[in-house]
Amino acid sequence: MRDFTWHVFTQTGDIEAYLLYKEMNKLGTGGEEPPGAPDSPEGDSAVEPASP
């Protein structure tokens, strides 16, 4: 199911599909991360802010 929601998101850009995917990750539903899925935890920035 998680792979399906990720596929729907990548094909349509539907934010609801992405939010469902993230919610399923929080609940720990089985399966592996689909290829290209973000691997950083929610709220954790993968890009460091630039220093002034």
| Per-run averaged pLDDT (10 residues), the chain, 52 residues | 89 94 83 60 46 54
Closest among 40, 42, 4 to 22, alpha carbons compared: 42
The Cβ of residue 16 has, within 10 Å, a number of other Cβ atoms equal to 11
Whether pTM > 0.95 for this model: the answer is no
Confidence at residue 31, expressed as pLDDT on a 0 to 100 scale:
54
**What pLDDT score does 44 carry?**
44
The whole-number pLDDT of residue 48 equals 46
- Note the pLDDT of residue 45: 40
Q: Hey, how many other C-beta atoms are within 10 angstroms of the C-beta on 9? A: 20
Place of tokens 């995917």: 21
Tell me what pLDDT residue 28 has. Answer: 82
16-24: long-range contacts, CB 8 A cutoff, minimum separation 24: none
